[in-house]
Every structure is written in structure tokens, then in C-alpha cells.
Amino acid sequence: MDLLSKIKENKAVIGVVGLGYVGLPLLMEFVEQGFKTIGFDIDGRKVIKLNAGQSYIKHISEDRVRKVRDSKIFEATTDFKRISEVDCILICVPTPLTKHREPDISYIVNTGKALLQGLRKNQLVVLESSTYPGTTEDELKPILEESGLKGDVDFWVAFSPEREDPNNPKFNTRTIPKVVGANTQYARDLVQALYEKVIVQTVPVSSSQAAEATKLLENIFRSVNIALVNEMKMILDRMGIDVWEVINAASTKPFGYMPFYPGPGLGGHCIPIDPFYLTWKAREYEMNTKFIELAGEINTGMPFWVVNKVIDALNLHKKSINGSKILLLGAAYKKDIDDPRESPSFKLIEIMEEKGAHVDYNDPYVPELPDMRMYDIKKKSVELTAENISAYDCVLISTDHSVYDLDFIVEHAKLVVDTRNATKEVLKNRNKIVKA
């Protein structure tokens, strides 16, 4: 049976490579639609957990993982020879930046090489990792061709960007339309047929490059708009105008405006990183990405601006930051998730400690700060008791997890610096709150 018919008749076996925030939910969708699915990862601990029916991501329930495991059509493995058993290979590995803010596609390259252990004729390989235009065609395909097989003849490649928004109550993997792009009609038919099985709507584009660029446009749009609103925050703050009030008022315009919210800086695996994939690629074409650079400059400056607000706030209490005890709330990059990647909280801790502050943190979902790409801060989350809170000179809200009892926190804190407007509904002790 040819691959297209296999997909259409739910007989294709799916392989998901990289079982993290993107790969795991995607894999589960295929299992839940009845596709035999194998998950591949180099991290043996994840493989053991999944085969034991355990979740390692906060917003993916143990119950759901257990059902997937009990389905008998799912298995996780570290053995890449088993790639030969699958018909469609979906690659969801990380795409970070190097120390010099250049694309690090080594995970994609290593995955391509690992696939050679089992690559065979009539397979579809779809890259899902966010990356610069040309990665699928010019980087991944040639590695796969080292097998001796010919791309778009013996096997097919495509790109389909991931739009996962962890813990978004309105959208999940299944309900977010998915862009699919490939450079031959047959590969486009394959990738479209595949995702139509599990996603409400697929959006075909004419090439893998167009699909890669689509993802970058989406994230650059966010980065630029967040930078704009962060700049507005700094200007309006100087004028004594509350940016949150202004955003809420502007949001009532039913057309031509879309709210973005300021914060302590950009976080997460995508928005602070992906734009620089385009910046790097644009250099090859002798082009500068001015909007991206400017947005990056403003957004990376935000933690410094926030720390200056902490310094000013302490000053009003006749305290210097040097020697002050500061409790930072939230290590995850956004509310209600357990993912600390690129979280501005790390930068905030670093700057304040450089200035002589003693900084502790609390995050109910990040009990211990992990080793990060740029940071190795050894700290454990402290408990949010009245006694603990009152022992600090300042509480800095970096991430506004919903579980935080803000009335309680403000009541017991000496001073609260709030970067998220988290305390908007706190009525008592407002004189202790400084927005930043």
C-alpha cells in the first residue's frame, strides 16, 4: 500500500522524535486517534516514565499519559534503529541559540544522523522545530540522503511549525490550525493528509521554506509588539500614567488593535530566540533585521529597568539594594506552567545579586532552579508563609501564577514590586505596591 493510502486509512505508523513540550502532546493526539505510534528520545528518563504511564510535564495529566500507555498502540524508546518501523517521522527537538546568539541547529543535525540508523524507502519526515527558512531542504534533507536514498523520490520531507501554547485554556494541539509546507505536490499531499487526521484545520503553503518563515513571522510579530508595549510602559511610567489602564482602554477598540502586555522581559523557548534565526539567515542576503534587533534591545533591557524600579522602591524605604533581602515570585517564564526556559527571572536574580542583594525565590512549579543555557543558579523555592514573606525587604512579582494569594502576600510583605499587574485586585495596603 502506498504511503498516502496508509495515512488516509489510519494504517500509517507514526514516529515522534523529541518527547518534550511539543512532541509529547502531538504524539498523544495520534495515539488518541488510533494510530500506532512510537516515541523516540535520547533522554532515557523520559522514555522510562512514558512507558510507565507517568507524565513529566505539569499541564499534561498523568491520567492522559496512562491512557495512552494502556492503549497498547504506543511505545517510547531510545533505540533509533526502530525508525524503520514507522512510516511518518515527526521531529520536535530543540532549536536554541549559541552563546553568540546564532542558530544552534545541532539537535536537528544529530537527529538527522540518528535517523540514518533506520531510514528506509517510502517514509515522510516532517520537521516541527522552529528554524530559519531552508533548514528542511538545505540542512535536513542532505543528511538523510547520506543513507543513499533520494529525497522526494525515495522519501519525502516537509515542514510544519508547532504553535503549541502550553496551558492555554482556549486552544490545544488539536484545535490550533496547522501550517504545512513541502516542495513537491506529493509531499504536500502526504503532510496535509497526515495532520488532517489529528488537527482541526491544516493550512497548506507552497514550500517548506514558506512554512518555516510563517513560524518566524508569528514569533517576530509577538516579540516586536511586546517590545512596543514595554517601551510604552517605560515612557508612561515616567509620565505617571498607568500603562495597564491604557492597554485596557485601547483594547475596547473592536478593530485594528490587539492587546499585548508588558512584563519583566521575554521568556520561553520561542519568542526570545526564534527572531534571531531570521536575523542570522538575513545576513546571508546582506539584509539587516532592524525591527528584530530593536525589539531584542528593548526586551532584553527590561530586567534592568525592573531592577531600577526595585532600587527606587527600596530607596523610598531608606534602604539600598546592597544588603537587602529580596523574594522573587515565579521562576517559570509565564503563569501556571513549570517551564523556566529563558525566563527573565534568572536575569533578575543575577542583576540583583550582582548589586549585593540576597535573593530567594518561590515557584510552586519549579521547586529547584535547573541548570540553564546561560545560568547555573543553585537555589530552592522557599515557602510562602507569613513569617517568610515578612522577612524580606521586597517581594518582586516576576511571574503571576494564579495560585498566588496576593492579598496574603501584600498583607505580609514590606514592599511589593509588581511587573505583571498581578495585584490589580488587591484592595488593602496598596501603598506597599509599586508597579514595574
Ligand X SMILES: NC(=O)c1ccc[n+]([C@@H]2O[C@H](COP(=O)([O-])OP(=O)(O)OC[C@H]3O[C@@H](n4cnc5c(N)ncnc54)[C@H](O)[C@@H]3O)[C@@H](O)[C@H]2O)c1
Active site residues per annotation: 270
Convert residues 155-184 into a mask of x (bound to ligand X by CB under 6 A) and - (unbound).
Answer: -------x-x-x------------------
Q: Is 129 in the site for ligand X (CB under 6 A)?
A: yes
6, 14, 23, 357: residue in contact with ligand X (rule CB under 6 A): 23
22, 194, 306, 426: residue in contact with ligand X (rule CB under 6 A): 22
15, 18, 262, 340: residue in contact with ligand X (rule CB under 6 A): 18
114, 351, 415, 434: residue in contact with ligand X (rule CB under 6 A): 114
Q: What are phi and psi of 86, to 5 degrees?
A: -105, 160
Contact between residue 275 and residue 379 where contact means Cβ atoms under 8 Å apart: no
List helix spans (H) across 267-356: 274-284, 290-316, 344-354
Closest residue to ligand X, Cβ-based? 20
Q: Is 112 in the site for ligand X (CB under 6 A)?
A: no
In angstroms, rounded to a whole number, what is the distance separating the alpha carbons of residues 331 and 378?
13
Close Cβ partners of 134 (under 8 Å, ≥ 6 residues apart):
209, 212, 281
Contact between residue 316 and residue 351 where contact means Cβ atoms under 8 Å apart: no
Biggest distance spanned by C-alpha atoms of the chain: 77
Q: Is 433 in the site for ligand X (CB under 6 A)?
A: no
Smallest distance from ligand X to CB 409, Å? 28
16, 26, 28, 92: residue in contact with ligand X (rule CB under 6 A): 92
35, 74, 107, 260: residue in contact with ligand X (rule CB under 6 A): 107
Site residues (CB under 6 A) for ligand X, limited to 130-159: 130
Q: How many helices (H) and strands (E) in the chain?
A: 14, 13
Smallest distance from ligand X to CB 429, Å? 36
Range 120-137 burial, b when 16+ CB lie within 10 A, else e: eeebbbbbbbbbbbbbbb
Site residues (CB under 6 A) for ligand X, limited to 32-51: 40-43, 46
3, 7, 16, 17: residue in contact with ligand X (rule CB under 6 A): 17
Query: Quick check: helix, strand or coil at residue 326?
Result: strand
Q: Is 213 in the site for ligand X (CB under 6 A)?
A: no
Site residues (CB under 6 A) for ligand X, limited to 270-329: 270
DSSP assignment of 233-264 equals HHHHHHHT--HHHHHHHHTT-SSS-------S
Smallest distance from ligand X to CB 23, Å? 6
Q: Please list the residues that pair with 327 across neighbouring strands.
A: 360, 395
Residues engaged in binding ligand X (CB under 6 A): 17-23, 40-43, 46, 92-95, 107, 110-111, 114, 128-130, 162, 164, 166, 269-270
